[in-house]
């Protein structure tokens, strides 16, 4: 007489039951977030160890940037893959079979990805908001001089444009040749002129051209600050406009690249989480140890005689 072992027990669906098991989804999302945090910390440590302030030492900036992009994508895909596998394996099996079971397992992996993205976006926005608030408070305490020197996006361009050509043309420090004196604050008029010139440069980049009136006015200010002739000052203003456009174009290209890399990483993470959840469900149904294999490695249980 042949005795067949007990068949696997499937959960029975009842009216009003939810086919989405949020416990498995949240468990996978939390695991993915934890793995991502650990890998990001590890990657940051590796990046810092590869850099050096000394010349001709350490890895070049391009290599570090390329490695950072690769590591950011790899850790995100791997973290969501692990979270999707956990969600698929922890989900209870209903009466569905075949493709329907694979779809529901994969959907739980997709939900792990969605929850992880929402949590990550919320943390990013809250962190950015807190950093912005802290920065505003510090800037307010530091005063207008500190704001104009550190928070001005055109600061480097303005520094080059207003730099004296010789040391003799520079404003002598306070108390030169006498006893040390207290540091002298930058005049308010100089800060106002600097802020106005920054706005004019930003406007020229946005509009695509610098008007003749603005060009002559900025050249006059540059001539007064540096002691240069009007013609030389106009040449320096033209160079500053070109430098501002180059900086804006560089920032634009960096933003485009960041957007494409982020979108591609998220889409690949969704596919990885979906696939890993399907594999987790398959391993759950056939009691296979956790391993990722593309082939059909299902372990068959022979009937008991």
Residue 235 has pLDDT above 60, yes or no: yes
> pTM for this one?
0.65
- At a CB cut-off of 8 Å and minimum separation 6, what does 57 contact? none
Residue 174 has pLDDT above 60, yes or no: no
- At a CB cut-off of 8 Å and minimum separation 6, what does 21 contact? 90, 91, 92, 108
Residue 264: the pLDDT is 92
Average pLDDT, the chain: 76
Residue 107 has pLDDT above 90, yes or no: yes
- At a CB cut-off of 8 Å and minimum separation 6, what does 305 contact? 2, 3
Residue 295: the pLDDT is 52
Residue 279: the pLDDT is 92
First to last CA, the chain: 7
Average pLDDT in the 145-174 region?
A: 60
- Tokens at 136, concatenated: 């505003």
Instruction: Give the residue ranges of DSSP H helices in 143-211.
Output: 144-150, 155-161, 188-207
pLDDT level of residue 210 (50, 70, 90 thresholds): confident
Using the 8-state DSSP alphabet, how is residue 10 labeled? -
Nearest to 111 by CA among 84, 82, 78, 93: 84
What is the domain partition of the chain in residue ranges? Answer: 22-143+261-286, 150-167+188-248
Nearest to 218 by CA among 229, 205, 204, 234: 234
Residue 233 has pLDDT above 70, yes or no: yes
Q: Which long-range contacts (CB under 8 A, 24 or more apart) does 210-213 make?
A: 210/237, 210/241
């Amino acid at each position: 007489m042949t005795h067949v072992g007990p068949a696997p027990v499937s959960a029975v669906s009842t009216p009003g039951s939810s086919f989405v098991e949020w416990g498995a989804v949240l468990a996978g999302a939390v695991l993915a977030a934890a793995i991502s945090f650990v890998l990001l910390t590890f990657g940051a440590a590796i990046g810092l160890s590869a850099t050096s302030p000394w010349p001709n030492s350490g890895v070049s900036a391009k290599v570090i940037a390329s490695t950072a992009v690769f590591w950011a994508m790899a850790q995100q895909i791997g973290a969501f893959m692990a979270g999707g596998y956990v969600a698929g394996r922890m989900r209870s099996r209903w009466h569905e079979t075949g493709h329907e079971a694979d779809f529901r397992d994969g959907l739980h992996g997709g939900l792990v990805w969605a929850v992880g993205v929402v949590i990550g976006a919320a943390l990013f926005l809250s962190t950015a908001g807190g950093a912005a608030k802290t920065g505003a408070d510090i800037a307010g305490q530091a005063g207008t001089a500190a704001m104009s020197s550190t928070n001005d996006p055109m600061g480097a361009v303005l520094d080059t444009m207003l730099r004296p050509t010789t040391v003799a043309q520079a404003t002598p420090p306070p108390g030169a040749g006498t006893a040390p004196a207290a540091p002298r604050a930058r005049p308010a008029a100089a800060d106002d002129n600097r802020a106005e010139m920054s706005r004019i440069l930003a406007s020229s980049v946005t509009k695509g051209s610098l008007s003749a009136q603005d060009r002559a006015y900025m050249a006059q200010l540059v001539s007064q600050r540096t002691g240069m002739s009007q013609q030389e000052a106009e040449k320096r203003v033209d160079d500053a406009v070109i430098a501002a456009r180059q900086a804006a174009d560089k920032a634009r290209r960096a933003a485009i690249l960041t957007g494409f890399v982020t979108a591609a990483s998220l889409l690949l993470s969704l596919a990885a989480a979906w696939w890993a959840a399907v594999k987790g469900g398959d391993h759950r149904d056939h009691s296979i140890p956790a391993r990722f294999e593309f082939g059909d490695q299902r372990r068959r249980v022979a009937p008991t005689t």
